[in-house]
Structure formats: structure tokens, C-alpha cells
Structure 1
Amino acid sequence: MESNHLPTTLLDLLDNRLLLSHVVPFLSPSALLSLAAASKSFYSLVFVTHSRYTFRHLDLSTLPYVYNFGPSTNHESDEDYLAAPVRRALYVLNKKAVLSCVTTLVLDGMPVPATLLWEIFRADASNIRILSIREVKNLGDEKLLQLLRHLIRPSRPEGSLKLKALYYFTPSEPVKGSRSRSPERWTFLETSQGVTDTLGSQLGQCHISDPNVPTTPSWTNGRGVLFNIAFRNSEEEWIQLIESCQGLIAFDVVICHHAPSSEDAPKLANVALGADGCQNCHAAPEEPRMFGQTSAHDLPLLSPPPLFASTVKAAQCPAPGENPKFYARCTHCLQGRRCESCNIWWCEDCYTPLSQRSAPAQKSAGEIKVHMGLCVRKCLVEELYTGAGEGGMWG
């Protein structure tokens, strides 16, 4: 017996709000526009019926490079010219009355001058809750600090502060599929060298990474230094701003809970230490940070920005399989007590580096656990054994 029912079409499936909201975040902007151009029905679905869901999470980090468009004209500044792709995309969204639907905006790696950010937050239609501007170009710390101070100013109109989460410090992740970065893009980015700038890691670099371990560093997978503190004179200003933003704006960085002495100024935590704690006591003088127990303002935003919700809670919630507990410290308080290769470390109660010991104590201090950035018992011996360090003394 023949059925009179027509087969389910793609339009029928995407017209389901639940299915659509779980599919669209994986589409690039160009793919979404191609879908809307397929027919009037798809156009209505994307820009009218379900625009609240199709444009909630917008990733513009895959826009074509401005360098393909030729030199700038004399009538526009270099900053305006570089920001043209992002500015055009936002203009189109505003013209089609869907800019207000964007609550998560990803601009990682794009040319984003401060003038563009001012335009975004001043726009009446802007409704952005989560903004990711990791590894962006043409944006200095001072200008960004100035913008954030303006957003949280005490005299701001009630309800004008819509931004709740800002990704800026941690590296952006190379995402497979439509969002994957081309080799040209990697040469365009000025990524930091991380631990390879340190002395200990230069002994050898012969370790082969485990394919089962995530290659993108994050706070919860405990892979060591997430970013270099390149802010120098502005680090203190960032700390003051982050403290002022408690309860207002969350960041993908936190302030280090521990300092070697009470005289040291607070530092930004930039080292992910995992959940195991000190190699000796499996704990630390400070409590570990833990989602669900630690206050929200003491938790960092986790990468990548959430796909299905534009809330701080969703941005701070560990992914399935990740440990909700972790330690985060600064390189300053870990100096001489963390291995830059395997990331094991010793707390202040269990070990004092030789450089920090008093002269009488050095004579009876016991074994040295970390030398030139590597743990002595394992990684340093392996480096020397392979002949990669100390002139190949074991070769």
C-alpha cells in the first residue's frame, strides 16, 4: 500500500527549533548564508522565523582576509581598512534586523581595532553577552582597558552593561571542519612561544606528544603555560580591572591565589596545573578551583566559547570527561618548583627551590627537584640520555 505522505525534507528538520539550535553553531557564516539563498522558505527560516537561534552564536573568525582585497584607499585609515570584513558582516546583520539576535560573537584572530569594539557596544541593536577576541590584531591593552572601564563605569545607564564574558587571554583553538585555519592564517597569527622560551625546554624538545591528550591547552586539562604574561606595565591594571568586574564581567583568566610572600603583588594566573596538586602531598596551600563550589568570579571561562548558551555558567562549566577541579597559578610563584616538560610541581610546604633557600638551609635542604626548568628524576635525565643537552654527555 502506497503512502500519501511526502518524505521529510531538510526544511522540515531545520524548522524544528531544537534541531536547528544544535546544528547552526557548527555552520560557518558563509554556509548559513548559502542555506538562506537556497529558497524563499530557507531564507525565511534563517532570517525571520528562527533568526533568534540561527544567529545567536556567530563566529566571524573564518571571514576572508582583508589582504586579498588590495591596498587601502586614501579615504580610510589602515585600522578601518583592516576591520572592513568584520564591519561589513555586522552591517549586513544590522540591515537585516538580526544583529540583536547575536549573543555570542567570536572574532578570534581577526583585525579588531578598538574603534570597532566601540561601535559594537554603542550600537543600539547590540545584545552581545559573550565576546571572544583572542589573538586579535590591532588592539592594544590600553585601549581595551579603557573600553572596559567605560562599560563598567558607575554612572552607566541601568541595563546598559550587556557583556557578561570576555575571552582575551588564552589562545584560540584550531577547530576542525568549516572553522579550521589555513596555513596562511597560522603565519598571520603572532602566537606566543610558550614554554619554548624558557631555558629548560631548550635542552632537547625530543618528546613526542600523546595523541590521546588534547593539543589545545586549557585550564581543566592541565597542560602548563596557557599564555605568556606580555602585558608588563599593564598587568597590575588588568588585575585591578578584573577585581572591579567581579559579578559584572567574567574573563578567561583568574588572579593567582598564592604568592611566594606577602610582599609580592598579585599576579595573573597563567599556568594550568590540573587536578592532582603537588607531586608530594597531592594538594596545595590554597584550595583548588572547582566548578559548582568555587565562586564564579574565581573561575575562568573555559575554551572554546559555549555553542548552545550565552551564559557565564555555560562558559565556566567543564566539558564532559574533564575534571571539574583544577589548580591555576602564575609562573612567578612556580619558579623553580614546576617541570616545564611534564608539568608536575611541588607546593611551598613540600619543596623550596635552591635559589630561595637561605645559606645555612642549603647545606641540609636535601635533593634538588627541578633544575633548569626540568624535573631532575625524570625529564632532565631523559634529555641528557638522548644526548640532546649538556653537549651530549651521555651520547
Structure 2
Amino acid sequence: MTQASESHNGLPTEIPSCALLQLLANSLVLSQTAPYLSCYDVLNLAATARPFRFLVYHTPNVFRRLELGNVKTAQFDIDAIDRGGETWRNVQLDENLTEDDFYSGPLRGIFSNLRRMDILRDVQVLSLDGLSVTAELVHDILVDPAYSVRILSIRGVKNLNERKLRGALQYACRSSRPRGTPRLKGLYVFGPRDTVPALAAAHEGSGSSSPTSPATVATAWNNRSQKALSDALAEEPEAWYVRRGSQFPHRISSEWASTLVACSGIVSFDSVLCTGPRHFNSPAWGTVNTEALDAAASSTAPSVPHFSVATHSLGGCASCGAAPEGWTVWGEEVVASRRESDGRRTSESCMTDLARFPLLAPPPMHSASLRVAMCPAGQTVRSRLPFIPTVKQQKARFIPRCFDCIRDRYCGGCHRWWCESCYIGPRASSPGGYAASSTGPDSVSSPFPNTSAASDDNAGLVSKIRDGVCADGKCSLGQR
């Protein structure tokens, strides 16, 4: 057999003789298929033959998305760090080994191999969920020019020092940073790891070997398809825009708020800042009497910080159907003002700051764009044309709040809540409370001039929430 030569378009002549090669020779097909395969499988494909190697290593975006959570060599299963004389990956553990070198050793070894194979520079979406990730490793991803990661997922990782991570993020987003840095634009860090539904076995409950007859094969694949469909239907609703209530299974440190403020407009996260009227960043800040709210709050309620990370997604207020700060609407255009050279201020329509929107799980499969990572299901990535909602397609919107801003006014069962303009709090008319009136025990002095004076929602005598659920006892648990 003569040695194969390359055609004028740079592709080996073996491609037309193989159906799989002919299919993968289409760069669009290969780049859209590769994200569903593990890095191990893609490299094995490249090792099968020279034409496959040519396609894998010379097609753009094959390694654009890299998920290492299911790679065996990336797992960290060592418990202790100071076992003298023990060898780990052919490296002697001694006193010169730093903590970061130890805990990030598996991933640094993989990144070193990818850099040597000239693959690391192509990775734009990197998922390290559940692995051993240190703050120093994330710092290297932020500042090292060898990395081109734009979206990073480190949810549920081990050995991560969050204090050092926050410092690394604030340093990377400092005002004196070099131009064009950091390359990282999105970070998944607060949410839980993505659950991968397991397909049912071809012969669930049977001890027979692999099927041989066409009928048996058809039955096996039909069962697997039904199981896959059931798993897809059983998936949780989309975070923030569909799923109401708490969005995270664990508590988020209050120190993350200053990091989100420092990274605003530079790096986005899978959460946003709370927009309650008590925070400085809220559009409704200064429009609500915070003294009345503090006086009507429960005795155990702490003071609300200037900035806070949103942990709950809410719908409209149970009374007015909205919120003092308004909705966070995907694709909504805002009017931004700018000052001209002559001092006049003009207004122009522009897209809303992306810092208002959270990253949605899972990380995008075929793009490294922030808009794609933030775009809710059924919505357009760019809303340049006027959006006309239909019966089947409405605007995706939600109200982000921290727990301090919904304390004593949110039901954890049915997710109903009452905004600050409609309901002051459970102690609004208690002895010594802000709203206590000298004219009688049933009269309430409302601090909100724009609300109805006769509204029962501001009475305070009838508490809306008791022990975290509706006080009227009509809460429908589990309603979304």
C-alpha cells in the first residue's frame, strides 16, 4: 500500500475511505460531539490512527470544554500529608513538599501533560467539580498566561481555602490589573455539583449475557430510552428563574459579598448580590423606611449588612405582585445616562449589566460565552428585537434576596412572601414597636406614605409568618 498523501485542503486522503472519518472531517460535527466525550476518550480516538490524530489535534474547539471530574487520575484519595517515606506518583513525600503541591498534585500533573501536548491553551470551559482544588491553583488559572479558561466550575471541591480564594479573585480584579486580565469571566462556586442520571442496564433484573436477537436488542434499547426520558423529566426546575426558594444547599459566608462587589462587571458567579432595599446596590435603596423594618423585626434578627449574596429566588409579593426594587428580567434593556463634553446628560438604551444575572448550571457545552451560561431555557441569548411574550413563552424573571431581607416575611413551604411596602413585620404593633400608636391598640402608624392606610397587610397585629411558614395555616407545602 502506498503512503497516503494529503489532499490540497490539508486533510489526509484516508478520510473518504472511512465513514467515521468522513463524518468527523466536518469540523462542526466534531466540535459539537467532542464536549460529550471525556478527555480520555478523545485522546484514545486520536491514538487509533494517524488520520484521527490529525483531526483531533488540528480541529479548533475540540478541547474547548474540559471536564475532569470523571477522570480517574484526577481523583485525590490520600488522607494524610505527613507520612514519611511514602511515595505518591513517584514523588517522595518529604518536608520540602508544600501543602498546595500535595493537594493540587493530581491536577497540576494533568495540566502539565496538557501543556506539553499543546492542549491547555485551547481549554475555555473547565470543570473541576468534586476534585481537590486549592486556592493557589485557582490563582494560577487567573493570572498564568498559559491558561485561557473563561468559565471555571469548582463546585463541591475539596481542600479549598475560601479566604485565600476570595483574596485571589479580588487581586485579579483590582483596578491596577494589566489590560485584558483576568481571562476568567465566569466562576461556578456556590451551587451543588451536577447530578448525572445513570442509564438503566440493558437487562435490568436479568442475569443473561449480552443480547443477540434483534427483538432482545430492541427491548433493551427501549428500556434504556424510557429510563433516560424518566431521568430527564425528573430533573429539578431551572435555578433562579423557575425554582423558587433557597438555591444552595449550604450557607454562604457573608464575606463573599465584598468579593462579588469587587468582581462586579469582571467575573460573574452562580449567584448575585441581593437587591433588597436595605442594601446600597439596590435600585430601591433609600425608598423604604428601614427604621420601621428594624423595629418590626424579630428580636433575634441581626442587622442587615450593606451588601449580601442572594441565596433565595422569589416571585412577586403575595400582596402587590412585585417588589420595591423590581424584577430581574433576562434580556431587559435599561436606560443608561452619560455625560457629554458640554456637561449635558443624555440617555441611551443598552443591555442590562451582566452582573445582575447568575450563571446557570450546568456550564455551557458548546460555548464559552457568559450570555450562553446565563441564558435561561427557552430565551434568546441576545434580545436586540422587542420581546413580545406569548402564552407559552413569558419573560424569564426572578427577585434575588438574601435570607436577612426575607426574614419574618417568607414562607418556606409555599414560597409566598410579602415585600417591605406591603408588610412591615410581625412586631410592628407590639409594645415598644415602631408602629405603636397612642390612639389605640388597633391603630398602626404606617411609615409608607404611598401605601393604603387601611391595608390589613401593614397592620402587624396579624403576623404573616410563624415559625417560617404561613401563619394562617393554609400553606401548601412543596408548591413552587
Q: The TM-score by the shorter chain falls in which range?
A: 0.7 to 0.9
Measure the CA separation in 2 of the matches of 1:328 and 1:154: 27
Q: Relative contact order (alpha carbons < 8 A, sep ≥ 6): 1 or 2 greater?
A: 1
Task: Determine if contact 1:223/1:343 at 8 Å carries over to the other structure.
Answer: yes
Measure the CA separation in 2 of the matches of 1:306 and 1:169: 17
Q: Equivalent residue of 2:66, what SS?
A: strand
**Cα offset, 1:130, TM superposition:** 0.9
1:51-109 CA-to-partner distances (Å, cap 9, x unmatched) read x3111011111122221799755233454333233222211110111111001111112
What are structure 1's unaligned runs of at least 5 residues? Answer: 179-209, 384-395
**Cα offset, 1:284, TM superposition:** 1.3
Task: Determine if contact 2:413/2:476 at 8 Å carries over to the other structure.
Answer: no
Instruction: Say which one has the larger Rg.
Output: 2
Measure the CA separation in 2 of the matches of 1:292 and 1:283: 18
For residue 20 of structure 1, what is the aligned residue in structure 2?
A: 30
1:257-276 CA-to-partner distances (Å, cap 9, x unmatched) read 11453783221111022xx4
**TM-score, normalised on structure 1?**
0.76
For residue 373 of structure 1, what is the aligned residue in structure 2?
A: 468
Measure the CA separation in 2 of the matches of 1:269 and 1:88: 36
Measure the CA separation in 2 of the matches of 1:39 and 1:298: 48
Alignment of 1:321-336 (within 5 A): 324-336=396-408
Letter of the aligned partner of 1:348 in structure 2?
A: E
**Cα offset, 1:145, TM superposition:** 1.5
Measure the CA separation in 2 of the matches of 1:379 and 1:81: 55
For residue 74 of structure 1, what is the aligned residue in structure 2?
A: 93
Match of 2:274 among 252, 256, 266: 256
Higher helix share: 1
Q: After the TM superposition, which of the residue ranges 312-321 and 115-124 deviates more from structure 2?
A: 115-124
Q: 1:44 to 1:282 in 2, by over 3 A?
A: same
For residue 312 of structure 1, what is the aligned residue in structure 2?
A: 370
Match of 1:156 among 168, 173, 177: 177
**TM-score, normalised on structure 2?**
0.64
Give the CA RMSD over aligned residues.
Answer: 3.1
Q: 1:344 to 1:173 in 2, by over 3 A?
A: farther
Size of the aligned set, in residue pairs, is 341
Task: Determine if contact 2:142/2:182 at 8 Å carries over to the other structure.
Answer: no
Alignment of 1:79-94 (within 5 A): 79-94=100-115
1:326-367 CA-to-partner distances (Å, cap 9, x unmatched) read 111111111122221232222222333314554347855354
Q: Equivalent residue of 2:404, what SS?
A: coil
Measure the CA separation in 1 of the matches of 2:246 and 2:133: 25
For residue 414 of structure 2, what is the aligned residue in structure 1?
A: 342
**Cα offset, 1:175, TM superposition:** 2.6
Measure the CA separation in 2 of the matches of 1:338 and 1:213: 27
For residue 188 of structure 1, what is the aligned residue in structure 2?
A: none
Measure the CA separation in 1 of the matches of 2:194 and 2:259: 26
Identity %: 33
Q: 1:35 to 1:341 in 2, by over 3 A?
A: farther
For residue 324 of structure 2, what is the aligned residue in structure 1?
A: 285
1:166-222 CA-to-partner distances (Å, cap 9, x unmatched) read 1112222213369xxxxxxxxxxxxxxxxxxxxxxxxxxxxxxx9956426611222
Match of 1:38 among 48, 68, 72: 48
**Cα offset, 1:304, TM superposition:** 1.3
Q: Equivalent residue of 1:166, what SS?
A: strand
For residue 192 of structure 1, what is the aligned residue in structure 2?
A: none
Q: 1:113 to 1:245 in 2, by over 3 A?
A: same
For residue 62 of structure 1, what is the aligned residue in structure 2?
A: 70
Alignment of 1:178-197 (within 5 A): none
Task: Determine if contact 1:171/1:226 at 8 Å carries over to the other structure.
Answer: no
Measure the CA separation in 1 of the matches of 2:54 and 2:246: 46
Q: 1:79 to 1:157 in 2, by over 3 A?
A: closer
Letter of the aligned partner of 2:47 in structure 1?
A: A
For residue 260 of structure 2, what is the aligned residue in structure 1?
A: 242
